[in-house]
Amino acid sequence: MSLFSLFSDNHGFLATDQLVYTADQLQDLQNANTMATALAAALADQNRINETAKSDGFNAGYEKGKQQAKEEYRLAIEQATIELHKTYQCDVLAQRDACASLAVDIVRKIAGQVAPADWLFAEASTAAGELIDQTGLTLRVHADHFESVSRRVAGDRLFDRVVADETIASDACRIDTRYGTIEVDLETQIDRVLSLFAKGTSDNG
């Protein structure tokens, strides 16, 4: 048996084994061939649509993936920066504490090597020198250091007089001003040193 192909493409074919046709049959064959051609064109269009959608989907997925990767990278960098800053802050605080401890040891060592009267007079003079109104200042010290401190004050015009006061610790002194009193002792000076370190850290933070 022989087949006569009426239509053929990638999707299918239309064939017959009849070789002789009447006029009506020829019209039917022509209509069938037209429909087959139209179907083939529709399938080809759909195939192009599918390929375009596939390509668009791939490109959209690629762009979305790229944007997502960029955002994840940005967040990772941001988190790493935060962690580095925290580490830096911890290192700064550790260095500050170490320096503060060393500074305190130095202050205590120096204070221990200086004669009490010399240290008291130096600290009192420093504190008084920071006052805006330096008139009418009285320096109070423990009785044990009254004479030695008085000799040093005698050659200085900062204090009007020195007073022996048993209520004051041996390693401290007090300045009476017209507006109140100022306590001067080793621990106060150490606190000032520590506050300077704390301020320096906050300014650099």
Nearest to 146 by CA among 161, 157, 162, 124: 162
Domain annotation covers residue 106: no
CATH code assigned at 149: 3.30.2320.30
Q: How many domains does the chain have?
A: 2
What pLDDT does residue 41 have? 77
Full domain range(s) for residue 38: 4-62
Per-residue pLDDT of the chain (205 residues; tens, 9 = 90+): 444 455 455 655 555 555 555 666 667 667 777 777 777 777 778 888 888 888 887 787 778 887 888 888 888 888 888 888 888 888 777 777 777 777 767 766 766 666 788 888 888 898 888 888 889 999 999 999 999 999 888 877 889 999 999 999 888 999 999 989 998 887 777 777 677 766 665 655 5
| CA torsion, ordered 171, 176, 179, 181, to nearest 10 deg | 20
Domain annotation covers residue 167: yes
Domain annotation covers residue 136: yes
Domain annotation covers residue 199: yes
The sheet carrying 181-185 orders its strands as: 161-164, 138-141, 172-176, 181-185
CA 77, 67, 47: angle at the middle one, nearest 5? Answer: 160
Domain annotation covers residue 143: yes
Q: pTM for this one?
A: 0.44
Domain annotation covers residue 53: yes
Domain annotation covers residue 33: yes
